[in-house]
Amino acid sequence: MRLRLTPREDSFYDMFADSANNLVTGARLLVELISDGTDREAIAEKMRACEHAGDEATHAIMRRLNETFITPFDREDIYRLASSIDDVMDEMEEAADLVVLYQIEEFPKGIVHMVEVLERAAELTAEAMPRLRSMKELNEYWIEINRLENQGDQVYRKLLAQLFSGEYDALTVMKLQQVIDRLEDAADAFEHVANTVETIAVKES
């Protein structure tokens, strides 16, 4: 049995997995939020709790990083991955908060597809995090996230075209566009997570 003279802190893997699972919870709350007949204020409150949990998880990773001498991969990549995951949750929570603040009751049909992209990206990210231990079978993850982000871009452009078609009054356009922009930012943030994972995998290969 080979002894490791400088023990490496492996708890980061579990911490990243927990953070990514929290994104799945947040994305599924968005699905509920845009469904008909739901208590949007209650869902937004759950999203705030989810965002708070994400912040706590990120702070825990940063504290562990400051306390750890030997890390499983580059310190700056650990910081970047934790921050990127946190950014996704921040964007999703802001979208949910705006829905409640603006008292939006009806959404363009295409917004369902936008949220579905986020839900699938969250699921793929949660599935990928445990594979950081072996750095295997990760390339399909970032390829699929990139494809989803491109799909989200297409949906986003169609939603904007619908908003400015004259179907909505100017105030409604402003409110809906801010929500849709946050959803698009969340899709971009998922891609940043995947790009960071790709960078880590390339360095470790």
The amino acid occupying position 63 is: R
Distance CA 192, CA 117 (A): 15
* Number of other residues whose CB lies within 10 A of the CB of residue 87: 19
Q: Which of 68, 62, 65 is nearest to 83 (CA)?
A: 62
Please tell me whether residue 108 adopts helix, strand or coil conformation. coil
Token pair of 132, please?
């950081």
**pTM of the predicted model as reported, rounded to 2 decimal places:** 0.92
One digit per residue, pLDDT tens: the chain, 205 residues?
333 433 456 799 999 999 999 999 999 999 999 998 899 999 999 999 999 999 999 999 999 999 888 888 899 999 999 999 999 999 999 999 999 999 999 999 899 999 999 999 999 999 999 999 988 889 999 999 999 999 999 999 999 999 999 999 999 999 999 999 999 999 999 999 999 999 999 988 7
Please tell me whether residue 9 adopts helix, strand or coil conformation. coil
Q: State the CATH architecture for 10-204.
A: Up-down Bundle (1.20)
